[in-house]
Each structure stands twice: as C-alpha cells, then as structure tokens.
Structure 1
C-alpha cells in the first residue's frame, strides 16, 4: 500500500542513503547538497520539508521517496511547483504516479492553489510520463534553461490547472 505522509526522524538514514545515489539525484535540483549528510537530513525533516506541501512517500511501511508542491510568491501565490523522487529500487512500479496523484488531490482539497507546474530535464522521460499520467500537459520546451554540474540542460515545462 502506498501513502504520503509528513517526514519523521525515522526517515533520516533512508534520506542519506538514497540522496547519495547518483542515479536518484541525476535529474534533481542542485539545491540538494552533495554529499548528503546527516545534518542535511535533519534540516530537511525539521525545516525544509515544511516549506510547502511536501510529503514522504511510503510503500508497505517503508520510506521510498518524496513528493511535494512548493507554492510561489507574490503574483504566483496561487501556483505551485511540483517535484518528486523515488529510491532506485522502487522505479518502474507506478509509485511516483500514485504519489503525485495523492499530492494533487491534497493540494486541490486543502489549499488555495489553482495551478501546478513542473520542469523536467530533457532525457528524463520517466518523469514526463508520470506527469502525463497525472493530467499535466506540456506547456513548453526551454532551451538551455538549467546549468548543473558544468553542463546545460533543456527542460520540458508541464502544467495543470486543478481548480
């Protein structure tokens, strides 16, 4: 059974292990420290995961990843950027789509957010499929929009109006 929930200190060792896996962090924001330390995990659990609607993904009682919506500010206050990641052993099982669907429902029912969007690195087709399964549509393609680890990446821009 898959559920999304608030982070807890029991997630710390999993965060450290999974966020020090290059395949997991390859397409994630460079906001995530590398290497990912115990202090980073503690900060995330106590503070970082409280900036928006951010949830741990749990499958059959085991922490497997993260899904969240980070609201914009000022004129973008009714929009939020969604993001998600899963530990590698849990890829390809539909968990990201299920978690994102649960998050979209929570955002729709428990916030004033009316629009969700996501940027996906070119080459991350699995993430594009997750968004499309959850009703997001392609809104654009941004050339050389991201610079990470010495390289430029194009990004796909997805959006969904939920209210």
Structure 2
C-alpha cells in the first residue's frame, strides 16, 4: 500500500501519531463529527488512540487512512482513506473528513479522485463504495461530483451515537 500521494493542491500521507494534535483539532469540532460514526473528541489522547487503531487496520491490510495536508500552507486539513479493503471481492469503502475552515474548496473531491485512481489502477479494485447519512448533503455532493452513483438507502443499517441510522449507499465502478 502506498503511504504518500500528491495532487495539485494536497499531500496525502499515511496517518501517524505525530498527526494527533492536528487531527484532534478536526475531530473535536462537532460540526465535523456530526455525520461521522465517532463521538466528538475531547482529549488529544482520543486522536492518538484512533490513529493507533487505524494503523493496526492498515498493518492488517483491512483499511488505510491518510492525513490531508494543504500544499500551499503545509497545514493538516483533514483525513481520508479506505475505511475497508476487500481484496477478495475487489472493492473498498472510501471515507473523508475536513476541518470546517476548508469546506467548500473542492479538497474532499480532489482527495477522493486520487484514491479512486489508486484503487482502480494500482490495487486493481473493481468497485468503490461510500456511505453517507441522507442529511449529509455536502458529502453526497462530493460523491456525485466524483462520479459515484446512488444505489439506495440502507435502512437503520448502522448504530451511530446510540441511534440506528439510515445510510445512502453510493458506488463507482472501474468500468464507469
């Protein structure tokens, strides 16, 4: 698995514990975590634990998370990656989060397109999936702009913050 990507405006590099403070500033914002399946962080140690967990999944080749850094400022602005990797079925689920100050600039879409290219051309995956709460219109717009197709609603498919939620399922195929 590649640990580093570069796009026009972003650096994507495998998340490390050195990113904990920067990612804590993203994951401690209730506006950012509103649609994430995590509680809003209150201590930097939570970010450290999350990074260790994500890197354990990466070591097991089950997922991988990248820190998003804006090239122009060298500032960490969020994270993205493959929430799950299923090589047997040639598919992965993608996810992303951005600090609120960076919303609306096209960064999420730029990162998603980078990961899609890697998944289809280097990992030889056939299918990319993404799930978003139907109310998360910003995330849905990112998926639409990056070529994902709406497949349907997974009713009460996941428990998030103590409540079962619906998720909209989107996919993009290598052949699309």
Name the TM tier (shorter chain).
0.7 to 0.9
One of 85, 90, 93 as aligned partner of 1:71: 85
One of 21, 36, 44 as aligned partner of 1:28: 36
1:80-106 CA distances to partner (integer Å, 9 max, x unpaired)?
Answer: 111111111111111101111111111
What is the Cα deviation at residue 129 of structure 1? 0.6
1:50-85 CA distances to partner (integer Å, 9 max, x unpaired)?
Answer: 5434321111211111111221265x3x11111111
**Residues in 2 aligned to 1:13 and 1:3: alpha-carbon distance in whole angstroms:** 18
Write out aligned runs for 1:82-101 (5 A): 82-101=94-113
Q: Describe the SS at the equivalent of 1:47.
A: helix
1:96-148 CA distances to partner (integer Å, 9 max, x unpaired)?
Answer: 01111111111122202111001111200100110111110001112222222
What residue is the counterpart of 2:3 in the other structure? none
Q: Which moved more, 1:126-135 or 1:61-70?
A: 61-70
What residue is the counterpart of 2:154 in the other structure? 142
Does the alignment pair 1:160 with 2:168? no
CA RMSD of the aligned region, Å? 2.3
Unpaired runs of 5+ in structure 2? 1-8
| Compared CA separation, residues 73 and 34, structure 1 to 2 (3 A) | farther
1:1-54 CA distances to partner (integer Å, 9 max, x unpaired)?
Answer: 223222244322111221121111111123x78445424155157534554343
One of 138, 141, 144 as aligned partner of 1:132: 144
**Residues in 2 aligned to 1:79 and 1:54: alpha-carbon distance in whole angstroms:** 16
What TM-score comes out, normalization by structure 1 length? 0.85
Q: Is the 8 A contact 1:15 1:41 kept in 2?
A: no
One of 47, 59, 68 as aligned partner of 2:56: 47
Unpaired runs of 5+ in structure 1? none
What TM-score comes out, normalization by structure 2 length? 0.79
What residue is the counterpart of 2:26 in the other structure? 18
**Residues in 1 aligned to 2:16 and 2:150: alpha-carbon distance in whole angstroms:** 34
